[in-house]
Structures are given as structure tokens and as C-alpha cells.
Amino acid sequence: MARERILKGIAVSNGIAQGTVFIYETKKVEVFQTPILTVYLKDETERFEKAVEKTKQDLLNIQKRINQEIGGNFAQFLDAQIMMLNDKEIIDAVKRRIIEEKKNAEYVYHKVINEYATRLGESKDQYFKERVADIWDVGSRVLRNLLGLTHSSIVDIPKNSIVVAHDISPSDAALLNPTNVLGIATEAGGRTSHTAITARALEIPAVLGIKGLMGKIANGENVIIDGDRGILIKNPSAGRLHSYRLAKKKDQELEKVLSPYCELPAKTRDGRHIDVSANIEFFSEYTHARRYGAEGIGLFRTEFLYLTRRGSPSEEEQFRVYNALAQKMKPHPVIIRTYDLGGDKVFPDYHEPNPFLGWRAIRVSLDEIDFFKMQLRAILRASVNRNVKIMFPMISTYEEIKRINLIFNEVKNELRAEKIDFDEEIQFGIMMETPSAAIMSPHLAQQVDFFSIGSNDLTQYTLGVDRGNEKISQLFDHFHPAVLHLIKTIVDSGHQSHIWVGLCGELAADPLAIPLLIGFGIDELSMNPASIPRAKMVIRSITIPACEEIAQGALGFRTALEVKRYLRRTIHKKFPGIEKVIK
């Protein structure tokens, strides 16, 4: 029997899947050099132009189909490919070189695209490297149209497949059928690649960035994809299969138990309602939020509008997305966070030694006023639905809030002058994710309508631990007493100024943390949609006085381990019914 082997990659979409490997390889288009007589050169350039036009129409048809099947503007990322087909530099270069070199269109186009992709591939910027797939995807389509070949599709992959590929082009990723595709593993790609975004949207477990994957695996092999841990297990042993089957069966049984909670309010046993909302990255995820019983969108991460387009969308394009989301979620609230670019969400062609401490989020917006104002105008216009709130990320100083307020009021005045309607009472909140903001929270609370604690960055900055660095990942712990003291400080400061306080990091979805956070007085918890039924189950099992007692006790410990042991012990004693959802 073949030996079990574990291949490590990047966890980009949660869940566990076991299935049969389907190697997805698009056959490389072979291009040959053919001399063209001078008299036919004009016909050759026209043949190239027709192939480009046909490719545009093909992509528009795919985009229409995806939007119909998945909804909203999910296929807007194909705009980037359509834009490449309109790239004057490439088009003119191909036409000029057909004439100068007197060679066939496919040969010249392949050379030009290859040069362009090579330049991008040599970039130090991971985002640009990930866009090479866009170039070859669209280039391959043009070449096939020039040669009269059909374009292979990922649609017909057999049932129970784990798709394994070097990379999956954006247009093919969007055609993945979740009924047949149980999991995805690729050599290329990262958390911001189109494949990752699509996998999360379709709730397909995925592990990307597995080095040398294609040389280590074969069609028909049995594998497990663990999208929680970021591993692919090749030829799993009988013991491993058994343990994963048990884990999956347990998860499925738990899902059945939790399913009714989607429809129930998030109310404690003694009657206090906690707002439970969803964190989403792009528009189409609102369907998951509603399906799992979210009472609003607690965090809409708008930077993906930017990243999927390789540039800033226009005010009108942004408005359409924000407005559609607000309408779909009515009457529930939608909190739109302004761009949190930088850090792990990089700008194309921009590098700095320590991006998490550098030019990111609100620091970018306050330096790029026109860019910032465009987004504020779009959000304010969408606020006409009367359920939109606005939130600003990475606040670290009081002066930043004063500057934001000035610009925000300028934009409101501009809209009033243009007689454009918006919600004059729109709530204005900030992310609390730096220690300086937590310490200064009594002063910041007087300037805003709400706080939303970003527990991931707050933990990272408080402990001085890069959460993406595997060598020190064991030091990253939300339950560290220093982090808990800052969360309590933020909640108390907010309430003293009569504003509500939410938490939208991973901690919000942790059943071990929920009684603690509610004991601190948190008003809203926002999490990935699939975690909502579990959170509601926990909330409906607890009482406020018991949570307050738990929270008070937790603040007396010196280490994260002591805190977690205390929470497990105390929750077991006070709320035995929720033990089954605590991992």
C-alpha cells in the first residue's frame, strides 16, 4: 500500500474533504511561426482584432452566467481580464510587430503576452505574481480563438473530485461546481488569489501554495484536504481516514443540532439580546449571512473591490455594490469598512520593510484624499437605504479621528450641494485594533458612534507577534491576559460614553470566548457566516450574571493557558450544555 504523505500549504478555505484526485491541466496551446506575405499583413492584423473581440464576448457571456448563478457582481473580477483585452499597449504592440516581423498573429501575440507575464512574474509583489494567471488565462483564450480551438472547461469534472492543479485561472475558478468538487489544492496562489476567494464563496475546502504539488500526486489518488490546517494528506492511512471520518461525522451531526439556531434570536437565558452579525469579503456572501441567520453585516471588507480589479473602482462601481448589499440585507444593518489596504493586503508595486506597521488602512486613506473621498461618497450615497454604517480601520491616534471627521463632513457638504440624498444620521465607528487606541479609548469614544474591536490585529500589536509567521505563531493567543484587559478597557470606555461596542475578529466566533466577551459587556459579535448558529447556541445557553462572574475571574490570571483552563473548567460547571461546541 502506498505510503501516507502530508503536504503543507496555505489554508484559504475552511473545512475537510476526502475524495479522488482530478488533475486539472489545460493543454498548452502550441504556437508555430509562419511568415506572412506583405499583401496579407492587413488581413492578419484584422484576424487578430476579430479574435480579441470574440474573446471579449466569450468572457462577457461567462460573466453573465456566473452573475445569474451566484448573484450580484461576483464575476466582476472578469472585468480585469476584459480590460486586458482593451490594453492599448498590448494591442498596438501586436499589430505593429505583425507588420514589422511579417509573422502570423498567434506567434506574435504569444511573444508579447509572454514578455508581459514574465515581467509580472519577476515582481517581488505577491499580488502581481498572482495576476500572472489572469494574463495566461486571457492570452490562452485569444490564442485558441485565433487557432479555431475550443476552450477547455472545468465544468465537467466528475463527482467527488478533489481538483489538483498548478493554478486555476480566474474564469475557470468561477465555473467550479461545488456539487462535484469537494476540495481544491494548487501549487500557486495565496489568500488573495481568485481561486481562494471563489473557494470561500462556494464553501469548498481549499489549500493553495503547496510547493511541488504536481510532481508529488497522480490522477485517481485518494486524498484528504484539511482546509482548517492547510494540509493535503496523500494516501491517508486507515487510522487517519477513520479519525477524519469520525471528525466529519461529528461535524455533520453537530450541524444538524445547530441548524435550528439559524432562525432563533441571539438572546441569553435571562433575556439579553446580543447582535450577531456576519463578516464578509464580497457581495455574494450576503446569501450565506442570511442563510445562517446573521442579524446584519458587522464587517464588509471593501478592499477586495480594489484587489480583484488591480486598481481603484470608480465611485459609481463602488456605490452599486454598497447599495445592492444594503438593499439585500434590509432591514438589518450593514457596516462598511473603508479600505484596509496594506499589511497582508498589498498594493500593487509597493513594498516596505514592515507593512503591518507601515502605510496601511486609514493612513493610506488620509494621505490619498481623492481616493478616500471617492469611497466616502459611494458609502454615503448607499446610506440612503437607512441601514448603512461606516467604519474606519487601524486608528491609532486621536488626530486621525479629527481629520476623518473633517473630510467626512466635507464630503457630506459636497453631496448636499449636489442635492444627492444620504442618511444624515449615519453612524460613524472605528476599529479598535491597536494598543494606543485601546488606552485612549475614553477620549476616542467621545468622537464616534461605535467601536468594533478587531481582535486579530489587537492581539498581534499587543503581543508584538506577526500572526503570519509560523515560527512564532505559538505566541499569538487571543486569550493572553494583556489582550483581555485591553478588550475590557475598550468596552468600559464605550459604555461610559453611551456608545455600543462590537467585536469582529476570530475571537467573536470562539465558543470558549463568547461567555467571557458577554461578561465584559460586549454588545455585538460579528463572525464568518458559518459560525453564527454555533454562537447563537452558546448565547442562548448562558446568563449575564454568570458571564460577568466568569469575566471577572479571567482577568486575574497571568497567562493565556491559565485563562483557557479556567474558562473550560468554569463553563463546564456553569453551562454544561455548550461543552460539545468547544474544541
Catalytic residue list: 194, 504
Annotation-wise, does 456 bind a ligand?
yes
Nearest to 265 by CA among 253, 254, 277, 273: 273
Nearest to 394 by CA among 443, 428, 360: 360
C-alpha distances in Å from residue 241, one per residue of 16, 68, 181, 244: 12, 38, 19, 5
Largest CA distance in the chain: 89
Is 70 exposed, middle or buried, given 0-12, 13-18 or 19+ CB atoms closer than 10 A? middle
Nearest to 295 by CA among 323, 264, 324: 264
Cell 440612503 sits on residue: 384
31, 37, 41, 43: CA torsion to nearest 10: -80
505 Cβ partners below 8 Å, 6+ apart?
A: 453, 454, 455, 456, 457, 458, 459, 478
Counts for the chain of helices (H) and strands (E), in that order: 23, 16
Annotation-wise, does 337 bind a ligand?
yes
Say how far apart CA 390 and CA 381 lie, in whole Å.
Answer: 12
Q: Given 3-state DSSP classes, what are the helix, strand and coil percentages for the chain, each rounded to the nearest 5?
A: 55, 15, 35
Locate 119 and state its grid cell. Answer: 515581467
Say how far apart CA 37 and CA 464 lie, in whole Å.
Answer: 67
Annotation-wise, does 309 bind a ligand?
no
Annotation-wise, does 301 bind a ligand?
yes
Say how far apart CA 118 and CA 122 lie, in whole Å.
Answer: 6
Say how far apart CA 125 and CA 222 lie, in whole Å.
Answer: 35
Locate 408 and state its grid cell. Answer: 467626512
Say how far apart CA 354 and CA 342 lie, in whole Å.
Answer: 10
Amino acid at 211: K
The conformation of residue 345, written as its DSSP 8-state character, comes to B
Kindly state the helix (H) or strand (E) to which residue 61 belongs, with its residue range.
Answer: helix 41-70
The conformation of residue 199, written as its DSSP 8-state character, comes to H
Amino acid at 97: R
Angle CA 82–84–85, to nearest 5:
65
Say how far apart CA 541 and CA 526 lie, in whole Å.
Answer: 19
Locate 96 and state its grid cell. Answer: 505593429
Contact between 212 and 149 (Cβ < 8 Å):
no
The conformation of residue 343, written as its DSSP 8-state character, comes to T
Locate 418 and state its grid cell. Answer: 449636489
**5: phi then psi, degrees, rounded to nearest 5:** -145, 135
Q: Please give the annotated binding residues for Mg(2+), written as ranges.
A: 433, 457
Q: Please give the annotated binding residues, written as ranges.
A: 301, 337, 433, 456-457, 467
Q: Please give the annotated binding residues for phosphoenolpyruvate, written as ranges.
A: 301, 337, 456-457, 467
